[in-house]
Amino acid sequence: MHIASGFLSPSVWGTMAVVSGAALAGSALVATRQLGDRKVPLMGVMGAFVFAAQMVNFPILAGTSGHLGGGFLLGILLGPSLGIVVMTSVLVVQAFVFQDGGVEALGANIFVMGIVPSLLGGAVRSLWRRRGWMTYAATFAGGAAAVLAGATLVVLFLAWSGALPAKVHLAEALGVMNSIHLFIGLVEGAVTVAVVRFVVGARREAVFEAELAAPAGEVPA
């Protein structure tokens, strides 16, 4: 879902660069409080995993593929602020080294694939401390919702940039984009449930390091 170079107008990419830059700075400040000894290696390998997973395009429908976003997953496992920091690093490496996503579109891409899904992931994070069927259902639905939210934002950014032909109605563009991304979202939801289950099972102490260390009732945001 990376917006390529040349599709966003300067006012749109400039605005999103400022918005995402501010959110990133705030996230980095909050993240300093959550960077325990065990969180650092987990954050590093989760970033490497999301980069790797994004290379695996799976076929959906005829002539179309999709790949994991991963921001939602990071929001659950690392918390929203660290998730935003990690997703930003992935997107920066992709844009600067692999020409995946336009350099000027970085702010927009960080917003769409990092900030929004990480915040949504953060909303279901606490459910994983005592997981049950509700946890899996909320994570699956949340993963799909994160993809659809991102798909909607991308279409709006393109529309505001004048990058949609005049004859195309906004509703039509939203319909095409979201109907394709519904399928991608279902995969995102299912893969997120499986990966979070695995990581929480194997590395619970690292995932909930800050919460387990803090006295009851004093959980860092």
Partner 1 sequence: MNAYNRKTLVVGVLIALAIAGVVSYFASGEPDGLEKTQEELGADQPMHEGVGSPPSIFNGYGLKGLSAGFWNNAAAGVVGSLLVLGVLLAVARILKRRPSPQAADRT
- Footprint (CB under 8 A) of partner 1, residues 22-81: 28, 31-33, 35, 37-38, 40-53, 55-60, 63-67
Cα separation values, 108 from 17, 27, 175, 214, Å: 7, 16, 21, 35
- Quote the least distance from Cβ 95 to partner 1, whole Å: 7
Q: Which residue has the tokens 């695995």?
A: 198
Are the C-beta atoms of 37 and 135 separated by less than 8 Å? no
Write out the two tokens for 184.
């991608």
Burial 71-89 (b: 16+ CB within 10 A, else e): bbbbbbbbbbbbbbbbbbb
Site string for partner 1, 159-178 (x = CB under 8 A): --xxxxx--x---xx--xx-
Residues binding partner 1: number (CB under 8 A): 81
In this complex, which beta carbon is closest to partner 1, that of residue 49 or of residue 136? 49
In this complex, which beta carbon is closest to partner 1, that of residue 22 or of residue 52? 52
Cα separation, 10 vs 217, in Å, equals: 45
**Maximal CA-CA distance, the chain:** 59
Write out the two tokens for 102.
């336009």
- Quote the least distance from Cβ 134 to partner 1, whole Å: 28
In this complex, which beta carbon is closest to partner 1, that of residue 95 or of residue 116? 95
- Quote the least distance from Cβ 8 to partner 1, whole Å: 7
Instruction: Restricting to residues 99-118, name those near partner 1 by CB under 8 A.
Output: 99-100, 102-105
Q: Which residue has the tokens 């995946």?
A: 100
In this complex, which beta carbon is closest to partner 1, that of residue 59 or of residue 132? 59
Terminal Cα-to-Cα distance of the chain (whole angstroms): 29
Q: Please identify, among the stretches 85-93, 114-122, 128-136, 138-146, the one whose residues bind partner 1 according to the rule CB under 8 A.
A: 85-93
In this complex, which beta carbon is closest to partner 1, that of residue 38 or of residue 131? 38
Instruction: Restricting to residues 200-219, name those near partner 1 by CB under 8 A.
Output: 202-203, 205-206
196 binds partner 1 (CB under 8 A): no
Q: What backbone torsions phi and psi does residue 101 show, to the nearest 5 degrees?
A: 90, 135
Cα separation, 87 vs 76, in Å, equals: 13
Pairing between strand 64-66 and 58-60?
antiparallel
In this complex, which beta carbon is closest to partner 1, that of residue 2 or of residue 125? 2
